[in-house]
Amino acid sequence: MNKIIRTLLLLTFMAGFGPMQAQDVMVISKTNGKDVRFNANNVDSVFYESVYSLPYSNALNGEQGNFYVVNKTLPEGFTSIWKGDGRYSCMKASGYANGQKYDTESWLISPKVGLLNTTSATLTFEHAGKFFQDISQEVFVYVKGDNSEWEKQTISTYPTSFTFKKVSIDLSKYIGQAVEVAFAYTSTTASAGTWEVKNVSITGSSDSSTDPDTTSTGYKGYFELPVITKEQLAQANLKYIQHSFSHGGKEVRSYEMLYDTNLKMAYWVAYPLCSFYTQKNTKRTDAWGYDPKLPQSEQSTMKHGLGHGYDRGHQIPSADRLVTKEANEQTFYYTNMTPQLAGLNQKTWQKLETALRSTFMPTTDTLYVVTGAMPTTPDNMTITYMSDNNGVQIAIPKYYFKAICAVNRTTGEAKTMAFKIDHVATNDNYLNYVISVAELERLTGFTFFPGIDPKYKKSTSW
């Protein structure tokens, strides 16, 4: 086993489905399950994190995602140097404000990426910049491996305008380690340019002779994504599915799911929620259909509804994806549906979905959401089925859940809350079903929001 896997947790499915317990997770853990990542201004920034596998990518599409920011020099009145720029789909740093230039230093840092099962590794990114005296002396890229301090890298191409230039950096010397990448911006009272960065990726080439115990799962490390293990993906009935849509000539992520082809349902669907996704550029499409990422034989068929008091219940709601017709159509895939009692779907569950958009989403730039359904409980391991339109047996969930998280981009502090609602008809206030994310993890066996300190998962208030 490669040395970057510092802590092993064991996770097992019971007969290939149902509640899970803890499992083989690539997690860095140095002190009490936490990793001290950086010391800025004599304050330890402490995070609990996963090591992401190759290939890794983060478009920085107007948000930092699973990157984090360390402001080493932050002038009074500034909240952050790095900010998301949705218009140009990038992260942007500037020490210029209100007609003045300031002394600043701020690092935009990636999560750790394991350079395993590969004979080469390459970092690529695009950057643009303007208003610098000498950009080569004011912006820098650093890489830190398991066995090194931060090391300055050679940037082959510097921009002279807001036209993006692509840069490639060889990371082969770090193979076998977990690396972090830092984009370091500096400014002075004499020069305070604007630096834009996007489309960061780390890729490698496979080699069958490498350690088989460190085979990459190959999923992208989005912030909202629960921990996925190699053991889960080795099970033929479990599928990791990710959907994106086109917007402004770019591919934008929509949602991810862990789907069980035996039960014909997703255990969870994870997605970011912000005003970009909910802007009303299209109407509800009602485009009920098969998910193109899976054979139709592995999905339920619900074109004509389900009857018997059951709705085709969305996990990611239609109203959470109105930015484009394509994005909305993707919410009507059968993989996103479960048989859900109308008396829940159209009552308390709908109230909760609406509250996430109207009450919780406005409190943060991005609300990270995991919606899920469980076919069993610790007290009732019997799975109940009903027939779809083709007479195929599909599982009826015992309960539904939502886990939500918001992160302070400057401090790394997080807010979380969870909801667990039994699958019965009810019109109760959704706040009657609040639990902590930590409690939801205990009940389901899933690890939610692995990029935050576990202490933030204990809250039951927003």
The sheet carrying 414-422 orders its strands as 238-247, 250-260, 265-273, 367-374, 399-407, 414-422, 434-435
User: Alpha carbon 138 to chain centroid distance?
Assistant: 31
Place of tokens 């115990």: 213
Tokens representing 421? 């609602």
360 near 404, Cβ under 8 Å?
yes
What is the signed CA dihedral for 453, 95, 65, 28, rounded to 10 degrees? -40
Q: How many CA atoms lie within 13 A of 68 on its CB side?
A: 23
Q: Is 39 annotated as a binding residue?
A: no
Q: How far apart are CA 54 and CA 235, in angstroms?
A: 20
- The answer for residues whose C-beta is within 8 angstroms of residue 144's C-beta and 6 or more apart is 150, 151, 179, 180, 182
Are 456 and 436 within 8 A, CB to CB?
no
Q: Is 314 a catalytic residue?
A: yes
Taking CB atoms within 8 Å and a gap of at least 24, the contacts of 70-73 are 70/38, 70/40, 70/45, 70/106, 70/107, 70/109, 71/40, 71/104, 71/105, 71/106, 71/410, 72/40, 72/41, 72/105, 72/106, 72/107, 73/103, 73/104, 73/105, 73/106
CA–CA distance, 75 with 96 (Å, rounded to integer): 11
Catalytic residue among 127, 243, 247, 314: 314
Catalytic residue set: 314
Binding residue ranges for Mg(2+):
345
Binding residue ranges:
345
